[in-house]
Amino acid sequence: MAEDLTIQTGGKDGGIVINDDWPGYSLELFNYPKHYSGDLECVYIPHGVIMDRTERLARNIMGDLGDHDIVVLCVLKAGYQFCADLVERIKALSRNSDHTLPMSVNFIRLKSYVNDQSTEDLHIVGAEDLSFLTGKAIVDTGKTMKTLLKHVEAFRPKMIKVAGLLVKRVPNSSGCLPDYVGFEIPNRFVVGYALDYNEYFRDLNHICVISESGKLKYKV
Ligand code: HPA
Ligand code: MG
């Protein structure tokens, strides 16, 4: 039941809930790069659905931010595609309304996963001086939120909002959830739409579940 699984966040909804028994779509029904044949189990979230959901998140964000300037902090690498598409949608909404928000885009790089496992050490690479955040509203895309939020809060922005495309139902959740969530998904390792497995699959448009043979093929 969607109501049971949806966790209330600061945003207007907790994301589209994908249940544990969702099998995904057969790969036969979609196009995807030939070099990944055999490496995937199913199409979990088609690219078009991601885009439609992102458009709605952009509208929610615009509605909530009032007249603040936006400083976007994109979390690389996995967040780049979502961030780029979200920014495009915000720009499009802004063009078509009187309510325009000046926006700058910045990047930070985090790395914590090897194979499909999270490692203890989270590396923050790049954007060491975040002083540009002072007095701004932030939309942050990506994961490993808690550490990053502490880092960002130190610069005392007026408002911090986090947008995450995916929230996983994991047993050891930090309880720290984005304000804007695209989808709430089961605890499965997914790839595509810039999400990687050891740097592979970022060039896949759909979000897919990797197959066991795919995991073996690209294991380090
Ligand atoms: N896919 C890719 N990267 C990730 C995932 C995932 O499911 N979870 C955390 N980092
Ligand atoms: Mg990764």
CA 113 to centroid of ligand 2, rounded, Å? 5
Torsion of CA 157, 159, 164, 170, to 10 degrees: 90
Q: What is the pLDDT of residues 150-186, one digit of tens each?
A: 888 888 888 899 999 998 888 877 778 899 999 999 9
Share of the chain above pLDDT 70, in %: 82
Calculate mean pLDDT across residues 186-203.
95
The protein residue with its alpha carbon nearest to ligand 1, atom 1, reads: 190
What domains, with CATH codes, occur in the chain?
A: 49-185 (3.40.50.2020)
Residues 6+ apart with CB under 8 A from 5: 17, 19, 169, 184
CA–CA distance from 44 to each of 24, 109, 210 (Å)? 4, 26, 10
The protein residue with its alpha carbon nearest to ligand 1, atom 10, reads: 113
Calculate mean pLDDT across residues 191-199.
95
> Chain-wide mean pLDDT for the chain?
85
Q: What is the pLDDT of residues 131-140, one digit of tens each?
A: 766 666 666 5
- Is the pLDDT at 2 greater than 50, yes or no? no
Q: What is the pLDDT of residues 63-75, one digit of tens each?
A: 888 778 889 999 8
Q: pTM for the complete prediction?
A: 0.87
What number is the ipTM of this complex? 0.97
Ligand 1: atom nearest CA of 112 is 10
Q: What is the pLDDT of residues 76-126, one digit of tens each?
A: 888 999 999 999 999 999 888 887 778 899 888 877 667 787 766 666 766
